[in-house]
Amino acid sequence: MINIEEFISSVVKRAAEELYGVSDNLQIQKTRKEFEGDYTVVVFPLLKASRKSPEATATELGEKIAATTPEIKSFNVIKGFLNLAIDASFWAARFAEIVAAEDYGMAPASGRTIMIEYSSPNTNKPLHLGHIRNNLLGYSVATILKANGHNVIKVNLVNDRGIHICKSMLAWQLYGGGETPASLGMKGDHLVGKYYVEFDKHYKAEVKELVAGGMSEDEAKKKAPVMLAAQEMLRKWEAKDPEIYALWETMNGWVYEGFDVTYKAMGVDFDKVYYESQTYLLGKSLVEDGLKKGVFFRKEDNSVWIDLEADGLDQKLLLRGDGTSVYMTQDLGTALSRFEENKLDDMIYVVGNEQNYHFQVLKLVLKKLGYEWSDNIFHLSYGMVELPEGKMKSREGTVVDADDLIADMIGTAREMSDELGKLDGASEEEACAISEMVGLGALKYFILKVDPKKTMLFDPRESIDFNGNTGPFIQYTHARIRSILRKAEEAGISTEGYTEAALLPAEVELIKALSEYPAVVRTAGEQFAPSVIAAYAYDLAKQFNGYYHDHSILKEECSVTRALRLRLASEVARVIRSAMSLLGISVPERM
């Protein structure tokens, strides 16, 4: 299938080479909407060779291209800019290629293996709104990378060990009274999260009491009995104390069952799940190797550090004085095992921007240990999600729970769809399925349309608006097209002979938009940016709606023109469906 940008580029370069003997540094871009043309050539880099004014150079180049390239129907010059207009027959040929391509927009196999880690929850609390952005971003980027022909391995690293896990365990031990998910009828991750909040409540009370007794706040935070008990529990866990280990396995089991329900509701999955409890020991052995090589150093309290001050950073702790590991310890071990086991070309970590420094250090430490593949580690950093009410805090129990939010989105979608008559004539089963599709589509699209680096404000009701730049607007456009196609099929209207129809300018514009899809998928893959796909899907849906408003399809009297418009509508629906699937969003057949 012809690559339009490459075709135009080769035409322009050939003409410039023949005229001026140079073709380097030529800029070619899509013509701005206020000017006539399809592609614009910036001729200023040619002026030294042409020895003519910008207008004369552009005119000469345009005449040369028009004379040698039948696909170029005309050109115009605005100062130093040459605007090229492509003949409608060229776009008709491109449309035929689009129709014939089974996996349109998908790239052939690249031979590259890319691992992408997302989710990475702690087993001391349920998933919340921040996790939703992480999971949706990671899953979508993985799907986009697959569409670019890469072998993609989706992984989850569960933070199942550490002091934060022990806080929930200790609080359940002290204040739980034997409660279980079954005895309360509560999801396991919610029950464990309840005790994480409970720990914080008791910890703050103890600190307050110690401060009232004359201790400094910093000292009180270190010597609060409940914190000392949690630290002792972590040491026992690392020593494989049977009682502590059994409690850990039980409570983590509760959490995993809860997570699985949430992941299924979100529509995300993983090819492999790693657990920090299984990787931190390898990290410890790497630290020991680094000590022997002189990359790391040991302080008087027995803790192990690396000095990165010469690299513009600071000193970084790798192992505590009591021998327990930190996040960096296990991340070193996990990275090594992944690259060695899977022969990776690239490793992408989807982690919030508060960890930017952590990943900068991780890459640098691995590099100093001699692992050249550290250059192929990429941190896909994203901003936090805030609500109209402000920020969320896990330990204070003020987070927006993922399960509650998903249920609310589906409920709101049902309510708004009913109000607008979108579910008229649907059975209860259909209404439930469509509401779920629309609610989740609204949530996913609203989050993914935003550049990952930006902190975003999430407004649930705004996301379900059926007008504007929302998931439901695009879903409804797809459903509208499918309705047109069903009516045509029921009426026995064929799309045979559509290739004989003359294209109107609006139809050429739609074909141009469809022809851009492979390049959009490629750009989204290169930039790890679902927002690029989201913007394209919205623009395509909006463009089709404008076309449909101005041009009749089923009531068109000319059978050849009607066939073309039906085929065009069908391809728009197919590309919308494909683009939305890259965002993890389903589109309804009827609405």
DSSP assignment string, 393-434: -TTTT-S-BHHHHHHHHHHHHHHHHHHTTTTTT--HHHHHHH
Say what the alpha-carbon torsion angle 246, 248, 253, 254 is, to the nearest 10 degrees. 120
The verdict on domain 402-582 having CATH code 1.10.730.10 is yes
Q: Is-same-fold flag (118-386; 402-582)?
A: no
Least Cα distance to 510 among 109, 98, 207, 148 occurs for 98
**4-86 architecture in CATH?**
2-Layer Sandwich (3.30)
The pLDDT, as a whole number, for residue 398 is 53
User: Mean pLDDT across the stretch 481-490?
Assistant: 96
Between CA 128 and CA 53 the distance in angstroms is 61
Q: Does residue 34 have a pLDDT over 60?
A: yes
Q: What is the residue whose two structure tokens read 């590991």?
A: 325
The torsion angles phi and psi of 99, rounded to 5 degrees, stand at -60, -40
Q: What angle do CA 576, 580, 583 make, to 5 degrees?
A: 160
Q: Does residue 462 have a pLDDT over 90?
A: no
The pLDDT, as a whole number, for residue 390 is 52
pLDDT digits (tens, 9 = 90+) for 55-95: 999 999 999 999 999 999 999 999 999 999 999 999 999 99
pLDDT digits (tens, 9 = 90+) for 502-529: 999 999 999 999 999 999 999 999 999 9
Least Cα distance to 582 among 473, 410, 439, 445 occurs for 445
pLDDT digits (tens, 9 = 90+) for 281-324: 788 889 999 999 999 999 999 999 999 999 999 999 999 898 87
Beta bridge partners of 349: 117, 379
| Banded pLDDT at 464 (limits 50, 70, 90) | confident
The verdict on domain 118-386 having CATH code 3.40.50.620 is yes
Least Cα distance to 263 among 138, 113, 351, 445 occurs for 138
Least confident window among 214-218, 410-414, 457-461 = 457-461
The pLDDT, as a whole number, for residue 395 is 43
What residue spans define the domains of the chain? 4-86, 118-386, 402-582
